Structure 1
Amino acid sequence: MTTYKWVLDPTHSELGFKIKHLMISNISGSFQQFQVEVETENDDFRTAQIRAAAEIASIHTNNEQRDHHLRNSDFFEAETYPRLSFQSTKVEQQDEDNFTVYGDLTMKGVRKPVQLKVEYSGVTKDPWGGVRAGFTITGKLNRSDWGINFNGVLETGGLALSEEVKINSEIQLVKQLEPVLA
């Protein structure tokens, strides 16, 4: 069996999230700087070992004032905790194109288990002779599980921000031509 490494194509990938604001609409954001590495036995993604990380300072929501607030101690504490990371623990294939990936997500120094839904879009050769694989990743997490608790109470009694954060990402990986040496 041959082990291959797959690396992120950042130009054709995005690590995004959404959160309800005022309980009536979603605010979208993303991390502009992130890495993903995957190792597989042959080209079998059921065997995938996945590592990912994002730079908190690269958070982007199309509003610089909000981005600055997200980086401070009310939310991510970027100066103290500059990165979030994910390490897979198990991959389960649900059907031909769908997987559940289990792993540990670490934010603000807190590591918690999460599960993500992964839709496999296939593998193709690019115009330069490389091999690429595409994935759509979705999931939900409760931000307070990682100590991200900032909120405000509305006049109506509701909260300004949902506790639930939805993950929505598009990932394109490039297969490295040389197998990983054991």
Structure 2
Amino acid sequence: MSGTITARVATSSGHPLDDAVMTVMSQTGEQQALAASDANGAIASGDLAAGTYTVVITAEGYQPTARVAVVPGSGSVSLGEITATHAGGAPVPAVGHWTIDPGHSLLEISVRHFGISTIRGRFTDFAGEIVVPDDITRSSVHAEIKTASIDTDNRTRDDHLRSDAFFDVEQFPVADFRAVQVRPATDDAWTLEGTLTLRGTAVPVSLELSYLGEVDDPWGGHRAGFRATGTLRRGDFGISFDDKLLTGAAQIGGTATVGLDIEAVRTPS
């Protein structure tokens, strides 16, 4: 009597891997079967005698995944869906064009105030596009932020931020962010290298980026989530406002922390 071992190999976003290889080894380490996945990610071994086997799934650009399978005799033993983890550990979105949904996204900025508290605000008017190619490291991002949309829940403060002492929204109504390189940072995050142009000054910016997964929405769309954080020095953009207390503490900190929670919809190329 003999049986088979089956599985489906997919990426973290559920897309099938059609170039995965299943290697089945006996308990003594001898290769017993070798099989490749089909276009749907399905993979099946050849006939195997009853016994316990080590199954290793490999695919170019992904970390090897090992499972143990017990074949009792005739019939098929399913390992279910095996999610392949991209080399470097960080999950990746599906290849394609993605349009940022501003209604379900958040762009926050925070600065220290008098050195003892934090003031937080958000930009409410922004748009952008994310392009993910087969080579994830060549992914690109382009976003435009309307600087007049700053909102810190304080009208007087917001008017001050819109003035030429800060964002100078009359002369520079749009901040522009462009990135054309992504590289692995940790086992679950990436670094997005880009350029932010604010007040007419272009400054290199690095954002720590996490991909949060994908989902089909109720309206027939396909969505992906991203989280990014980074730090900006306002002096790099010519924002030199420097009121200080008698103690020497700055009224407004020289650095700002930015946080982005982005929901994007996949769009036709």
Q: Same fold (TM over 0.5)?
A: yes
Which stretches in structure 1 are left out of the alignment for 5+ residues? none
- Residue in 1 aligned with 2:114? 22
Partner Cα distance (2:136, 2:258) in 1: 21
User: Which has the greater radius of gyration?
Assistant: 2
Whole-angstrom CA distance in 2 between matches of 1:47 and 1:25: 39
> Which moves more between the two structures, 22-31 or 119-128?
119-128
- Alignment match of 1:40 (pick from 132, 155, 158): 132
Structure-2 residue corresponding to 1:71: 162
Q: Which amino acid aligns with 2:258?
A: I
Tell me the CA shift for residue 4 of structure 1.
Answer: 2.3
Question: Which runs of 5 or more residues in structure 2 are unaligned?
Answer: 1-93
Partner in structure 2 of residue 54 of structure 1: 145
Q: Aligned letter for 1:31?
A: F
Query: Which residue number corresponds to residue 251 of structure 2?
Result: 160
**Conserved 8 A contact 2:138-2:180:** no
2:160 is aligned with what amino acid? H
Per the TM alignment, residue 89 of structure 1 is displaced from its structure 2 partner at its CA by: 2.9
User: Map of 1:123-142 to 2, 5 A cutoff?
Assistant: 123-142=214-233
Report the CA distance between 1:60 and its aligned residue: 0.5
1:162 match: secondary structure = strand
Are 1:89 and 2:180 matched, yes or no? yes
Shift >4 Å, 4+ stretches = none
Contact 1:97–1:121, Cα closer than 8 Å, also in 2: no
TM-score scaled by length of structure 2? 0.63
Q: Secondary structure at the match of 2:139?
A: strand
Find the counterpart in structure 2 of residue 8 from structure 1.
100
Q: Distance in 2 between matches of 1:95 and 1:151?
A: 37
Secondary structure of 1:151's aligned partner: coil
How many percent of aligned residue pairs carry the same amino acid? 37
* Offset, 1:155: 1.7
Give the AA of the match of 1:34: F
Aligned to 1:117: 208
Relative to 1, partners in 2 of residues 1:46 and 1:13: Cα closer, same or farther, differing over 3 Å?
same
Count of paired positions: 176
Give the corresponding residue for 1:146: 237
- What is the alpha-carbon distance in structure 2 between the residues aligned to residue 137 and residue 91 of structure 1? 12
Query: Which residue of structure 2 aligns with residue 106 of structure 1?
Result: 197
TM superposition score normalised by structure 1: 0.91
Bigger relative contact order, structure 1 or 2, given CA contacts below 8 A and separation 6+?
A: 1
TM-superposition CA deviations, 1:140-175 (whole Å, max 9, x none): 011000001112110211111110100011000000
Residue 94 of structure 1 aligns with an amino acid whose one-letter code is A
Please give the secondary structure, in 2, of the residue aligned with 1:67.
helix
TM-fit CA distance, 1:40: 1.4
Render the CA deviation track for 1:51-105: whole Å, top value 9, x for unaligned.
0110011110000111110001111110000011110031012345311000111
What root-mean-square deviation, in Å, do the aligned CA atoms of Structure 1 and Structure 2 show?
Answer: 1.6
State the alpha-carbon separation in 2 of the partners of residues 63 and 116 from structure 1: 28
Letter in 2 for 1:174: V
